[in-house]
Structure 1
Amino acid sequence: MRIEHHVPLQSYNTFGIVARAHRLVRIASEADVHAVLADAELGGEARFVLGGGSNIVLTGDVRPLVLKVEVRGIRLAEETERCWVVEAGAGENWHETVAWTIAHGYPGLENLALIPGTVGASPVQNIGAYGVELQDRFHSLDAIDLQTGQPFTLYAAQCAFGYRDSVFKHAAAPGGFGLANRALILRVRFLLPKPWKPELGYLDLARRQAEEGGAQPTPQQVFDWVCEIRRAKLPDWRVVGNAGSFFKNPTVSPEQCADIIAREPRIVHYPMADGSIKLAAGWLIDACGWKGKSVGNAGVYEKQALVLVNRGGSDPAHAVTGGEVMTLAKAIQTSVYERFGIRLEPEPVVV
Structure 2
Amino acid sequence: MQISRNISLQPYNTFGIEALAENFAVIETIEDIATISKLTKQYQQWHLLGGGSNILFTDNLSGLTLYNQVKGIFIVQEDETTVLIKAFAGEKWNDLVQFCLQHNFAGVENLSLIPGSVGAAPIQNIGAYGVELKDVLEYVEAYHLDKHETEIFSNKACRFGYRDSIFKQQYKNRLLIVAITLRLNKIPKLVIGYGSLQQQLEKMGIVKPTIQQVAEAVNIIRTNKLPDPAKIGNAGSFFKNPTISKFRLHVLSEQYADIPGFALDEMNFKISAAWLIEQAGWKGKREGNVGCNPLQPLVIVNYGGATGKEIYNFSEAIIQSVKQKFGIELEREVNIW
TM-score, normalised relative to structure 2: 0.97
> Match of 2:53?
54
Partner residue in 2 for 1:82: 81
Root-mean-square deviation over aligned CA pairs: 1.4
Measure the CA separation in 2 of the matches of 1:302 and 1:213. Answer: 28
Tell me if 1:14 matches 2:6: no
The alignment status of 1:5 with 2:5, answered yes or no, reads yes
Partner of 2:100: 101
CA contact 1:14–1:53 (8 Å) conserved in 2 = yes
Distance 1:180 1:73 in 2: 24
Letter in 2 for 1:192: L
Percentage of identical aligned residues: 41
Match of 2:159 in 1: 160
Tell me what 1:254 maps to: 246
Gaps of 5+ in 1: 171-177, 313-318
Q: Does 1:348 align with 2:334?
A: yes
1:22 and 1:63 in contact (8 A); partners too:
yes
TM-score (norm 1): 0.93
Partner of 2:207: 215
1:240 aligns with 2:232: yes
Preserved contact between residue 124 and residue 169 of structure 1 (Cα < 8 Å)? yes
User: 1:286 corresponds to which residue?
Assistant: 278
Structure-2 separation of matches of 1:64 and 1:193? 43
Q: Which amino acid aligns with 1:200?
A: I
Runs of 4+ in 1 over 6 A off after TM superposition: none
Stretch of structure 1 that moved more, 268-277 or 102-111? 268-277
Residue pair 1:209, 1:216 contacting (<8 A) in 2 also: no
The residue number in structure 2 matching 1:230 is 222
Report the AA paired with residue 245 of structure 1.
S
Deviations 1:84-135 (A, max 9, x none): 1111110100112101110122121010011110000000000000000000
Asked whether the 8 Å contact 1:8–1:20 carries over to 2, the reply is yes
Looking at structure 2, the residues matched to 165 and 284 of structure 1 have their Cα atoms a distance apart, in angstroms, of: 22
> Which residue does 1:139 correspond to in 2?
138
Shift of 1:275: 3.6
Q: Is residue 2:23 matched to residue 1:37?
A: no
Deviation digits for residues 53-100 of structure 1 (CA, Å, limit 9, x no counterpart): 011100111113100010100111111233111111101001121011
Tell me by how many angstroms 1:244 deviates. 0.5
User: Deviation of residue 268 (structure 1)?
Assistant: 1.7
Q: Secondary structure at the match of 1:120?
A: helix
Deviation for aligned residue 1:207: 1.5
* Structure 1 Cα separation of the partners of residues 80 and 198 of structure 2: 29
Distance 2:152 2:76 in 1: 15
After the TM superposition, which of the residue ranges 188-197 and 111-120 deviates more from structure 2?
A: 188-197
Amino acid at match of 1:56: I
Which residue in 2 is equivalent to 1:174?
none
Residue 214 of structure 1 and its aligned partner are, at CA, apart by: 5.2
The alignment partner of 1:75 has SS state of strand
1:71 paired with 2:57, answer no
Q: Secondary structure at the match of 1:237?
A: coil
CA-CA distance at 1:206 after TM superposition: 1.3
Displacement of 1:198:
1.6
Aligned to 1:266: 258
Give the alignment partner of residue 339 of structure 1, picking from 307, 311, 325.
325
- AA in 2 matched with 1:209: L
Q: Quick check: 2:48–2:68 contact (8 Å CA) kept in 1?
A: yes
Cα distance in 1, alignment partners of residues 87 and 319 from structure 2: 37
In structure 1, the residue corresponding to 2:276 is in which secondary structure?
helix
Letter aligned with residue 91 of structure 2:
E
In the other structure, the counterpart of 1:186 is 178
Contact conserved, 1:29 with 1:186, CA < 8 A, in 2? no
Which of residues 287, 290, 313 is equivalent to 1:327? 313
Deviation at 1:208, TM superposition (A): 2.6
Q: Which residue of 1 aligns with 2:287?
A: 295
SS in structure 1 at match of 2:32: helix
Alpha-carbon distance between aligned partners in 1 of 2:121 and 2:47, rounded to the nearest angstrom: 17
CA distance in 1: counterparts of 2:197 and 2:220, whole angstroms: 10
Deviations 1:193-218 (A, max 9, x none): 34212210111121133334452101
